[in-house]
A and B are shown apart, each in its own frame.
Chain A
Amino acid sequence: MTRPPAPRRAGRGPSARARAWATRAPLLPALIFLIAVTQLPFVATLFISLFDWNSLAPDERAFSGLSNYKTVVTDASLRESILTTVLLTATVVIVSVVLGLLLALLINRKFVGRGFVRTLLITPFLLVPVSAALMWKHLLYNPEYGLLNGGWAWFTGLFGDSTPAQPDWITDMPLLAVEASLVWQWTPFMMLILLAGLQSQPLDMMEAARLDGAGTWQMFRFLTVPHLRRYLELGTLLGAIYVVQNFDAVFTITAGGLGTANLPYTIYQTFYQAHEYGLASAAGVVVVIGTIVIATFALRVVSSLFSEEASRA
């Protein structure tokens, strides 16, 4: 473990370098693979974004500089999908963090069948996203025989009302319909992370606070919440990474219609259906720039978690 600069200069350089490479070597396959499969395509996207290129008219491919970016910024529907993405991500992450916290608090106490209830609660997260989205679309939202309207009809039927309101959920509130299904899927994820946070809370501190006469709310506000802060940040960060990129729910429930097209869906459509390769690439680059801004902040959060762990080791 001696790594002073002197021996390196004193002729032991080659062997030190060899040792350094021996340490690094196991890392290389993973690094090289990842760079080849994730970074190179992005460089290609950057390149393509500078061209006016519609695959239906391949002969008219031409260098067009930044004009695709201009279109992205000025196009109303693309701008709307940026707004939709922000709205969708923020709503889903915030609501599922709050619900996840409530569920974690509820389940962080001993009761009969706790393991089973926990299993019930994480099930939505484990359903294949397409399955879940199809289930919401047809089994719950369907205006004629969906469980939401059906359950409501059953409930009002108990009171003799045979003509209850039967809204068409997806048409009437499309974005909310997508958000609800995503909140349902992501709440368990938040719950799991926050539950881990609750269970790592030092018990002796809680005891001490209780002996000092702190009430439940005070203990929650001044001990639990500060302790959970890092877990809340982590859940928000990871949730945001995944929800920003959501494609399955938008694709399945509304097919991007009725103002629910988020950026991943819009880009998919631009390139897969409209064949506008240059434009789709420019939109992709814009998404990446936006993500980098968020990620810089996000990485700092993880970094703080990480350095704490490193200092513990």
Chain B
Amino acid sequence: MSTTTAPVKAAPATTAYAPATRRARRRSAGLGLLAWVVGLGFCLPALWMLLTSFHSETDAATNPPSFTAPLTLDSYKVFFGSDGGASPWPPLINSLTASLFSTLFVLLLALPAAYALSIKPVRKWTDVMFFFLSTKMLPVVAGLLPIYLFAKNIGMLDNIWLLVILYTSMNLPIAVWMMQSFLADVPVSIIEAAQMDGARLPTVLARVVAPVAAPGIAATALICFIFSWNELLFARVLTGVTAQTAPVFLTGFVTSQGLFLAQLCAAAVVVSLPVLAAGFAAQDKLVQGLSLGAVK
């Protein structure tokens, strides 16, 4: 079999290492299995919530829990059918409005700012970056009362556009940091080429920078959307009936209707769905975004 001497020489070495690699392979398979068990176990509460949302109320509230109870869409029908309770659509639409518009405004403000900080660095640009980040460390509660009083005086309480403004300011620092790191990857030469051709800033941003940095901008947008959708404190204090958002709706859902476990689960699942979808879509960029671009 062996035509050269090399395999013969290698043979003893291979046999010597064989047990180790086999053990390593078995250990590796074991760790893979462990990862599956841990992953499922860790996600169990969420999976249980999903399952419960498809159970009837009586099956949902049994002890010990029933894993094999028949599945039904009743809870979702009740949730959307506004069975005597408030309709979930206005809060969902409010959340969508607040999240989409604030994300749009964030992008419009953050893109030029990030451009100034990465491609055409202004002097002392790191100081500016840290100013942006420091506003994120300012506890939200410390500014809430004046905002409440101000909104009350100008009649902006229970107005979804107030939340749009606040969510824009809440996400702007993160977006500037993220985009700064994404735009730093755009080759300066193509920007200079466009400027030679006489393109002004808006054109450069829209035609040259944005297409190149599109994946990063999309990730930024998704993360801003998620944070806006999730926000509770501002929404709770500053909205009432008409501008109520989905998280606020969720808190009211339980106290007003007593405890309907399956319905509560259905509501929690529905409210979480947009964020789950956005998060799974942005999985790869999520880390980079959440760590403000510091981790690449």
Please give the residue numbers on chain A whose beta carbons come within 8 Å of chain B beta carbons, in ascending order: 20, 23-27, 29-31, 33-34, 37-42, 44-45, 48, 103, 106-107, 109, 111-114, 116-132, 134-136, 138-140, 144-145, 147, 149-151, 153-154, 157, 184, 187, 189, 192-193, 195-197, 200, 231, 234-235, 238, 241, 244-245, 247-248, 251-252, 263-264, 267-268, 271-272, 277, 280-281, 284-285, 287-288, 291-292, 294-295, 298-299, 302-303, 305-306, 309-310, 313
Contact = CB atoms under 8 A, between A and B. Distances in A.
Q: Which of A30, A41, A193 has the most chain B CB atoms inside 10 A of its CB?
A: A30
A140 B286 CA distance: 28
A23 B122 CA distance: 6
- Residues of A contacting B: mostly: helix
B157 to A, nearest CB: 13
B139 A139 contact: no
Given A33-B109, A192-B290, A193-B287, A129 B45 contact: no
Nearest to A112: B32
Contacts of B294: 234, 302, 305-306, 309
Interface of B: 28-29, 31-32, 34-36, 38-40, 42-43, 45-46, 48-49, 52, 60-65, 109-110, 112-113, 115-117, 120, 122-123, 126, 128-150, 165-166, 168-169, 172-173, 176, 181, 184, 201, 226, 229-230, 232-233, 236-237, 246-247, 250-251, 254, 259, 261, 264-265, 268-269, 271-272, 275-276, 279-280, 283, 286-288, 290-292, 294-296
- Residues of B contacting A: mostly: helix
Q: Which of A25, A26, A117, A288 has the most chain B CB atoms inside 10 A of its CB?
A: A26
B272 A128 contact: yes
A302 B294 CA distance: 8
Contacts of B271: 128, 130-131
Contacts, number: 308
A225 B144 CA distance: 41
A245 B250 CA distance: 20
Contacts of B129: 306
A271 B251 CA distance: 20
Nearest to B34: A106
A103 B62 CA distance: 32
A131 B233 contact: no
A131 B169 contact: no
A113 B36 contact: yes
6 contacts: A26-B115, A120-B40, A247-B232, A264-B139, A287-B141, A288-B142
B35 A264 contact: no
Nearest to A249: B232
B23 to A, nearest CB: 13
A235 B29 CA distance: 30
Contact of B116 (A26, A121, A125, A248): A26
B136 A135 contact: no
Contacts of B275: 126-128
B268 A135 contact: yes
B146 A41 contact: yes
A38 B135 contact: yes
B113 A27 contact: yes
Given A27-B117, A106-B31, A268-B141, A128 B295 contact: no
A23 B290 contact: no
A194 B292 CA distance: 14
Q: Which of A40, A114, A128, A251 has the most chain B CB atoms inside 10 A of its CB?
A: A128
Given A106-B34, A106-B38, A144-B63, A135 B265 contact: yes
B34 A299 contact: no
Contacts of B233: 247-248, 264, 268
A150 B65 contact: yes
A39 B173 CA distance: 13
A116 B130 CA distance: 37
B203 to A, nearest CB: 13
Contacts of A113: 36
Nearest to A154: B64
B130 A299 contact: yes
